[in-house]
Amino acid sequence: MIALIDYGMGNIFSVKKALELCGAGVLVTNNPADILSCEKIVLPGVGAFDDAMFELEKQGLVPVIKNEVKSKKPFLGICLGMHLLFENSEEAKIRKGLGILKGRVRKFLKGSQKVPHIGWNQVNLNNSGPMADGRWPMQCPLLKNIKDGSYVYFCHSYYVEPDDKSIVALTCDYGVDFTAGVWQGNVYGVQFHPEKSQEVGLKILENFVNLC
């Protein structure tokens, strides 16, 4: 069973339907006891960083999320849900993020590209070459059978900037080469909306559903 956290921010039921199409049992909840009882957690989100953190704090979900991540339970943040995993955001005027991942959330600078970034765009697997110690990075389990250059659907004005570049699983070029997916241990995040990304998005969600 997957706990789909409902904190009043985002398209909960389209994510639920997509996960169910991938064979998952899904519990839409903001009840800490329900979250503890599930094997995996998904944190979706559309909207403002400050508002989202306020709702998570008000509903007592911040310590639950942090403890469940620490316990190695598979966790997926989608769009704003991925932003909240980081320490702070240029969008936020008051609140800090969950701080599960080190780094910050940046706003796209106005330039030749329209902001917000809305629509289909290609994502690139982070196969940039060997690390400093000579090892090649492992492929993110979420991206099994996902081709480099696949198209997915975006809707955002901000993007994450991790301190540790080795956690970058996907990138996307939109005037700037930004992080479109992250992976650190049991924690996964995607900037795009897999529930709106047709076959590619459903495959990514299926990979999450099938994580052991």
User: At 45, which CATH number?
Assistant: 3.40.50.880
- The residues annotated with a catalytic role in the active site are 79, 193, 195
Asked if residue 142 lies in contact with residue 169, where contact means CB atoms within 8 angstroms, the answer is yes
What is the count of structural domains for the chain?
Answer: 1
Domain that holds residue 17: 2-209
Q: From first to last of its 212 residues, what are the pLDDT tens digits of the chain?
A: 999 999 988 779 999 999 999 999 999 999 999 999 999 999 998 999 999 999 999 999 999 999 999 999 999 999 999 999 999 999 999 999 999 999 999 999 887 789 999 999 999 998 655 555 544 556 899 999 999 999 999 999 999 999 999 999 999 999 999 999 999 999 999 999 999 999 999 999 999 999 98
- pTM, two decimals, is 0.94
Taking Cα atoms as reference points, which of 110, 187, 103 lies closest to residue 141? 187
Residue 88's CB: how many other CB atoms inside 10 A?
15
Side-chain half-sphere CA neighbours of 178 within 13 A: 22
